[in-house]
């Protein structure tokens, strides 16, 4: 294993941030992707062979193949140093999340790494990498709003945004073309199409509206039913309470066991009735507020956006 150890040491000394493998000296034809898979899965493949194959692929700028080869070499003979080279490949390919993942793995496998501080600084820098959003629409030159604010770019556009949740709206001819909310990770790239919705999507939207209307009617019936139960239970509890109070007065005038038992039963039934009334009222109120809040959220989600152009500037108005 000395040859591969020497090669990996040279790779490490070449630089932790962007390790550049030596130029390949071999002139043999490189394998195709299918042939590479067969080679890497061969039981005769050694860590050194996989590493050298990765060097050749890297030199040919076949970065995905080089990563596969070096990953196989690491699997056959784990050496954390090789993970730095794999991280470089991922960063060259624009895969910032994958780069961070492999660098964190390097620190886990080599907790006493001499370049620990440099690798941690590299990770911190990568975590601040903005995300990229590609916006497409049926027509060019349509306005774009990000989180409610117009931006200079028009469709089609490629914009950078900070990681997190963002809402993008495309407006054309004074009408909203579409709205999409997207969760973006650092260095992530996403494509959003604001094209005219096909007929099937319109049908699905109408179906969702009908489902919500049915749900609202069902909730309204439930509120009325629970309110009726609460009122009836409250009335029953009140009547039983007055009767129990009368029995208590009778017991004071003529203390007998029969009157005492009857009074206790009436008091118990009154308490149960009051409990049912309270539970029904709370449940009715909960159903009412839940339905009301859901309706408000739905109305906000379907609010109309009016985009007006005034002079050289533009303004966006949400109409509820």
Report domain extents, the chain. 2-127, 131-196, 200-304
Percent of the chain with pLDDT over 70: 70
- Average pLDDT of the residues in 157-185: 86
The mean-pLDDT minimum among 34-48, 243-257, 297-311 falls in 297-311
- Average pLDDT of the residues in 223-250: 73
Question: Which residue would you say has higher pLDDT here, 80 or 255?
Answer: 80
Question: Which residue would you say has higher pLDDT here, 31 or 196?
Answer: 31
DSSP secondary-structure letter at 187?
Answer: T
Q: Do domains 2-127 and 131-196 have the same CATH topology?
A: no
Residue 134 confidence (pLDDT): 92
Q: Using 50, 70 and 90 to split pLDDT, how confident is the model at 28?
A: low
Do 146 and 159 form a contact (C-beta atoms < 8 A)? Answer: yes
Rounded to a whole number, what is the largest CA-CA distance in the chain? 117
- The Cβ of residue 10 has, within 10 Å, a number of other Cβ atoms equal to 13
Strand residue runs (E) in 104-185: 131-137, 143-146, 149-154, 157-161, 164-172, 175-184
Q: Using 50, 70 and 90 to split pLDDT, how confident is the model at 101?
A: very high
Residue 314 confidence (pLDDT): 43
DSSP secondary-structure letter at 16?
Answer: S
pLDDT at 162 over 80: yes
CATH (residue range 131-196): 2.60.40.1120
Residue 294 confidence (pLDDT): 63
Q: Using 50, 70 and 90 to split pLDDT, how confident is the model at 164?
A: confident
- Average pLDDT of the residues in 213-237: 71
238: Cβ–Cβ under 8 A, 6 or more apart, which residues? 270
Question: Which residue would you say has higher pLDDT here, 319 or 110?
Answer: 110
pLDDT digit string, tens, across residues 279-316 = 767 776 776 777 666 666 666 555 444 444 443 444 44
| Correct CATH for 2-127 of 1.20.58.110, 2.60.130.10, 1.25.40.10, 1.50.10.20 | 1.25.40.10
**Whole-angstrom Cα distance, residue 192 to residue 135?**
5
Token couple for 181: 């909310």
**Whole-angstrom Cα distance, residue 29 to residue 46?**
19
**Whole-angstrom Cα distance, residue 214 to residue 211?**
5
Question: Which residue would you say has higher pLDDT here, 125 or 216?
Answer: 125
């Amino acid at each position: 294993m000395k040859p591969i150890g020497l090669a990996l040491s040279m790779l490490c000394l070449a630089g932790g941030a962007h390790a550049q493998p030596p130029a390949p000296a071999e002139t043999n034809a490189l394998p195709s992707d299918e042939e590479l898979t067969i080679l890497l899965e061969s039981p005769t493949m050694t860590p050194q062979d996989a590493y050298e194959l990765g060097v050749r692929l890297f030199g040919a700028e076949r970065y995905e193949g080089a990563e596969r080869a070096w990953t196989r070499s690491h699997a056959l003979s784990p050496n954390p140093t090789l993970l730095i080279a794999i991280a470089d490949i991922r960063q060259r390919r624009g895969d910032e999340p994958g780069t961070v993942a492999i660098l964190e793995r390097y620190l886990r496998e080599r907790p006493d790494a001499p370049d620990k501080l440099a690798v941690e600084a590299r990770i911190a820098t990568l975590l601040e990498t903005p995300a990229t959003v590609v916006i497409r629409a049926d027509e060019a030159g349509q306005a774009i709003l990000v989180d409610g604010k117009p931006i200079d770019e028009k469709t089609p556009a490629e914009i950078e945004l900070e990681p997190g949740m963002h809402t993008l709206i495309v407006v054309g001819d004074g009408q909203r073309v579409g709205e999409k909310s997207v969760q973006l990770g650092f260095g992530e790239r996403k494509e959003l199409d604001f094209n005219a919705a096909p007929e099937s999507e319109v049908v699905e939207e109408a179906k969702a509206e009908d489902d919500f209307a049915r749900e609202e009617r069902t909730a309204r019936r439930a509120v009325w039913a629970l309110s009726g139960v609460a009122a009836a239970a409250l009335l029953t509890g009140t009547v039983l309470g007055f009767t129990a109070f009368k029995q208590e007065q009778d017991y004071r005038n003529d203390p007998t066991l029969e009157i005492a038992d009857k009074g206790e039963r009436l008091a118990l039934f009154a308490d149960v009735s009051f409990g049912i009334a309270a539970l029904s009222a709370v449940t009715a109120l909960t159903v009412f507020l839940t339905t009301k809040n859901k309706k408000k959220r739905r109305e906000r989600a379907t609010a109309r956006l009016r985009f007006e152009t005034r002079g050289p500037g533009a303004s966006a108005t949400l109409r509820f």
